[in-house]
Amino acid sequence: MAVTKATSGRTSRERVHRAAVKLFATKGFHGTGIRDLAEAAQLSSASLYHYMPTKEQLLAEIMRDSLQSLLDAAHATLDGVDDPAERLDRLVVLHVTRHAREPQRTRVVDNEVDALSAASRRGVVGIRDAYEKLWADAIDDGLRNGTFTTGEPTATRLALLDMCNGVARWFSPRGPLPAAALAEHYADLARGMLGGPPRQR
């Protein structure tokens, strides 16, 4: 099958994004130069700008795409679920699974927001806040109906998110627990942290 100009451009753009994710995750945004990106994407420095306006805009696009994908997946997994404990279980499983399977992308999202200008940061933080509100709503609803008993819901939510984010730093598919089993274990831990009932398997 012949490779069209549009297909070639899409492939090159995907290479740029993959290269940026890998470099930003390992070297940091500020530690990654344009020459590094071009070399990793197998492009010249001049042609690189056909696929990214600026390095910061590339970072913002990666972060927005990743967070929007996570938010969309969260809405899908919560669809039709009213029980707050089950909602939290599903959010934890989704979050841990995503961080275990896409560690570089999630490390970029978690660690590089301060590299963005105020204008770029607003859009990224807006999506992140919408996602974290799903966690806050599940916890608040659980407190209202007596499912959860923690006296510090905000601190517990932040601790939970930080715990789940950490999976991207240390999880290995060669470890003793596969990603799916680890995610279920974290859901058990979340219930305990919130003073909720044990999960029924």
pLDDT one-digit tens code per residue, 162-178: 999 999 999 999 999 99
pLDDT tens sequence across 87-112: 999 999 999 999 999 999 999 999 99
Say yes or no to pLDDT of 191 above 80: yes
pLDDT tens sequence across 10-34: 688 888 999 999 999 999 999 999 9
pLDDT band at 9 (very low <50, low <70, confident <90, very high): low
C-alpha 185 chain-centroid distance: 19
pLDDT of residue 52: 82
Alpha helices in the chain (DSSP H): 5-27, 34-41, 45-48, 55-78, 84-101, 103-111, 118-144, 153-165, 167-170, 179-193
The per-residue pLDDT of the chain, averaged, comes to 92
pLDDT band at 188 (very low <50, low <70, confident <90, very high): very high
Cα atoms in the Cβ-side hemisphere of radius 13 Å centred on 48: 21
- Say what the pTM is: 0.89
C-alpha 23 chain-centroid distance: 17
Query: Please, are residues 110 and 161 in contact by the beta-carbon 8 Å criterion?
Result: no
pLDDT of residue 10: 67
Contacts of 153 (CB under 8 A, 6+ apart): 136, 139, 140, 143, 194
Q: What value does the mean pLDDT take over residues 147-175?
A: 96
Q: Is the alpha carbon torsion for 120, 121, 124, 127 positive or negative?
A: negative
pLDDT of residue 91: 98
- Distance CA(187)–CA(193), nearest Å, equals 10
Structural domains in the chain?
Answer: 1-52 (1.10.10.60), 54-193 (1.10.357.10)
pLDDT of residue 46: 81
Say yes or no to pLDDT of 3 above 60: no
Q: Which two tokens mark 25?
A: 């995750």
Question: Degrees (nearest 5) of the Cα angle 99, 105, 106?
Answer: 40
pLDDT tens sequence across 36-57: 999 999 988 888 888 888 999 9
